[in-house]
Amino acid sequence: MGALDGRVALITGGARGQGRAHAVALAAEGADIVAVDAPGPMTDLTYPLGTVDDLHETARLVEKLGRRCLPIAADVRDSSQVAAAVEQAAAELGSLDIAVANAGIVSTGPLDQVSDRVWQQLLDTNLTGVFHTLRAVIPVMRRQRFGRIVVTSSMGGRMGIPDLAAYNATKWGIIGLAKSAALEVAKEGITINVICPTTTQTPMVQPAGGDDVPDELVRRMMRANPIPQPWLQPEDVSRGVVYLVTDPGVITGSVLEVGLGGSARIH
């Protein structure tokens, strides 16, 4: 018997990386999964995004554990696509108990070289995308008088980091969003918490795979972490997500840093 038997969990950015690891970890605890990903094209990203094939691979891994998985191609920048995905999830799987707002993109570089389009794209995905997800799932959870929501920020949402100002602005922003929304729904059986990973070995920071470290920014961030290991594995973050969504309902508005000791350097 798993801690999440009978629960349905929707994960944005569920096609690969951390989102896929969360899908597998929650399914291993008994949850059925809705994986949302495969967004439309983006400008000037240095790495490819998740695809429909990636979504189907997540579904295969979940089904191997004996759980159901509904893969949905949708872009969190589009509120109507997010609303439709939530509606389809609740209709086909019977409820929607857990949401992990994990979809995100990164762009790096000095702030004075961030274009209007890249700035807007970061905001639309990392901040507005989380807003769309929360706004769509809260009414369903409110009707059930139960919900567990986790928002994926970053250790970049806890500190300043040169060459990540625009990204970090979105990751600080969703912490304010999550904490405020947590207060709005606290009496209704719904918790909203934030998870802040440090550098994690996924295609976002290591587009080509393998063990090589891709660029100087990532190397600099790794050197700043007190615990001397290169980066997190996605499963390290998933353990935090499982903890937050299996909580009986006494932790909300909290921020869990999975930071290789970086938490020791902030306030």
Ligand X SMILES: NC(=O)c1ccc[n+]([C@@H]2O[C@H](COP(=O)([O-])OP(=O)(O)OC[C@H]3O[C@@H](n4cnc5c(N)ncnc54)[C@H](O)[C@@H]3O)[C@@H](O)[C@H]2O)c1
Closer residue to ligand X, CB minimum distance, 5 or 80: 80
Indicate if 167 belongs to the active site.
yes
Of 27, 62, 167, 240, catalytic: 167
H or E element, residue 185: helix 165-185
Residues that bind ligand X (CB under 6 A): 12-13, 15-19, 37, 39, 49-50, 75-77, 102-106, 125, 129, 152, 154, 197, 199-200, 202-205
| Least distance from ligand X to the Cβ atom of residue 168, Å | 10
Burial zone of 83 (CB within 10 Å; 0-12 exposed, 13-18 middle, 19+ buried):
middle
CB of 247 to ligand X, least distance (A): 21
Residue 2 corresponds to which amino acid?
A: G
Q: Which residue has the tokens 């018997």?
A: 1
Q: How far is the CB of 151 from ligand X (least distance, A)?
A: 9
Q: In angstroms, how far is CA 235 from the centroid of its own chain?
A: 13
Q: In what order do the strands lie in the sheet with 69-73?
A: 69-73, 32-37, 8-12, 98-101, 147-152, 190-197, 255-258
| Smallest gap from residue 260 Cβ to ligand X (A) | 11
Nearer to ligand X, 47 or 146 (CB): 47
CB burial of residue 248 (10 Å; 0-12, 13-18, 19+): exposed
In the complex with ligand X, the residue whose CB is nearer, 77 or 148, is 77
Compare residues 5 and 215 and give the one whose CB is closer to ligand X: 215
Active-site residue set: 167
